[in-house]
Amino acid sequence: MMKTVLIILLCLLLLAILILFLPIGKRKKQGFYGLAAYSYAHRGLHDIERGLPENSLRAFRLAAEYGYGAELDVHLSKDGRLVVMHDESLLRTAGVDRKIADCTTQELDVLRLQGTDEKIPYLEEVLPIFEGRTPLVIEIKPVGSKNRAVLTEQVCALLDRFPKLQYCIESFDPFVLLWLRKHRPEVIRGQLAANFIKDRSGLRLITAFLLTHMCLNLLTFPHFIAYKFEDRSCLGAVVSRRVWGVQEFNWTLRTAQDVKQSKKNGALPIFELCRPDL
């Protein structure tokens, strides 16, 4: 009991420090580096009922054609390729019970997405679709600390080859943002978060608290936050947007009404299974 009380008190102290002393600085939201004019299709403009699986090249092309940006996730394969896929496992989307980090390019290339003819794309195949057109929100998905630095470094190196592409990088892992702040401070970086206290998924209480309220923003100084829409009233999110003026993205919005509400609140919507303009 005493241990739990001490953990709670420590968490409250950290949150107080975050509120009072965090020098993120009030960001200029207007324009937000050119990204604010767009809504973002989550994993592309996918609709499996129409044969358009998530994270497929067709879904990304369709998003760009309709004038949307897109949000995508990047993993590192066993042989160092940048794989565009949401899940760490291939089971749900490709029907193979293996992790991307354990697969080579040769093994990935024979797989298809959700029973269609669409292959698993690599980041270098997706970036040309959006260069000079609409922006990308790129989520870094490291395997803990195992490949955090090499994954983030390779993503940045590839992005350097597309100078006309507008993009920002986000991650649930604050140490990805810390790497970016140290090595690539010019890259627009954002902290992904949700209410992990409500849904801890095996996290320790103090870890859930720190991630929920983004307490490591004290070290990473994000340009934006990307917060789960249903959890946006969490104190850490409120402090970030109201006290420090940090731009917010909301995920994942599945109705036009939620998209409208998100925009009304000043956030940038990441949506799926709906069309914001319809």
The residues annotated as belonging to the active site are 42, 86
C-alpha span between 259 and 172 (Å, rounded) = 22
Residue whose C-alpha is closest to residue 71's, from 43, 105, 31, 104: 43
Q: What helix, strand, coil percent values describe the chain, rounded to 5? A: 40, 20, 40
Could you tell me if residue 252 is left (phi over 0), alpha (psi between -120 and 50 degrees) or otherwise beta? beta
Which residues are 139's β-sheet partners? 73, 170
Contact 134, 38 (CB under 8 A): yes
Contact 267, 250 (CB under 8 A): yes
Query: For 170, what's the count of Cα atoms within 13 Å in the CB-facing half-sphere?
Result: 25
Residue whose C-alpha is closest to residue 278's, from 134, 55, 54, 66: 66
ω into residue 252 within 30 of 0, thus cis?
yes
Terminus-to-terminus CA distance in the chain, angstroms? 53
C-alpha span between 169 and 151 (Å, rounded) = 12
Residue 226, both tokens: 């990307």
Residue 115, both tokens: 């029973």
For 20, counting Cβ atoms within 10 Å of its Cβ (0-12 exposed, 13-18 middle, 19+ buried), the class is: exposed
